[in-house]
Amino acid sequence: MVDLEQYLPILIFLIFAAGLSALFVFLPMGVSRLTGAHKPDAEKLSEYECGFPAFEDPRSQFDVKFYLVAISFLLFDLEASFLFPWAVSLEYTGWTGWIAMIIFLGILAVGLAYEWKMGALDWE
């Protein structure tokens, strides 16, 4: 039989977190309505991008380089997120962990060299 009383603090925490989140979402909207800051007009509701109106179809295709740069960023961001725990646990993993990380970094270096050679990093 499971004693459900041990889960009571978690339930209280979840209720508190949900209430605080709702407060952060709905309180500014309520204050803006009460203070008169919420007065939509055609100027406020118009679309704009970077301070000027959009002048092209929003469904137009992007150049593939945008996606390549985004994927490269994610790849090397993940590399950084793997390096920190590896550096912290290197004392426990020993040579096996060190060799595994060198192989991992080598694969990433080959990928970066391939990207560089194929011109994915050249911005025109």
Tell me the average pLDDT across 98-111: 90
- Residue 72 CA: distances (Å) to CA of 62, 98, 124: 17, 24, 17
Same domain? 60 vs 7: no
Look at the pTM and tell me if it is higher than 0.75.
Answer: no
CA dist., res. 93 & res. 87, Å (int): 10
Whether residue 50 is contained in a domain is answered as no
More confident site: 17 or 71: 17
Whether residue 102 is contained in a domain is answered as yes
As for how many domains the chain has, the answer is 2
pLDDT tens sequence across 60-97 = 776 777 777 788 888 888 888 888 888 888 889 889 99
* Domain assignment of residue 112, given as a range: 55-123
- Residue 113 CA: distances (Å) to CA of 14, 83, 106, 117, 118: 47, 20, 10, 6, 9
Whether residue 49 is contained in a domain is answered as no
